[in-house]
Amino acid sequence: MASIRGMMAASLDGFAADASGGVGWLAPFEAVDWGYAGFLAEIGTVVMGRRTYAQALELSAEWPYPGKRAIVVSRTLSQPLAGGAELWSGGLPALAAHLGASGGGDVWVVGGPMLQSALIGLGALDRLELAVVPRLLGAGVPAFARGARPGRQPRLAGLRQLPLGMVMLDYRFGEPGRGARAL
């Protein structure tokens, strides 16, 4: 059974992207090793929404997830998608069940505050690694959708101080109404 995980960066004031939806504000922190290579080695499937998919194509000349199964959640896109990505237009509860049953490594819900928040609301996310970046954006795309209600509450399982004032928080989600699962 695959673990469904999130890994994302957020500004100190809680934004995943600036007011125009961009992530250029992260450029000064690109040299910081926050464990991405090790994280990606544990991932077999990447899942993203339409906006994150479009941004991934804008930011890289090549598909950024070679060798990984990719699923793009969208009702407006059509096949074929870059990188051999599959299109998912069904409901999120069915997607969560599908992802949890998949094998071949863990599942990463890439960026996408809307999709990630929806899966948190369903109680589908098992782990969230959040890099807090010491920048105050003042406005932008919130790291988590406002009004989202978590299906399971997170428990802080780890904390690492990184260069340039970054902090990596590792949260694990427990069962509904209970504490987090034992590590």
Residue-wise pLDDT for 107-155, tens only, equals 999 977 888 888 988 889 999 999 999 999 999 999 988 877 777 889 9
| Band of residue 175 on the pLDDT scale cut at 50, 70, 90 | low
Residue 111 is predicted with a pLDDT of 75
Kindly report which listed range (11-20, 26-35, 72-81) carries the lowest average pLDDT score.
72-81
Residue 9 is predicted with a pLDDT of 94
Q: What's the rounded Cα separation, in Å, for the pair 159 and 171?
A: 9
55 versus 29: which is more confidently predicted?
A: 29
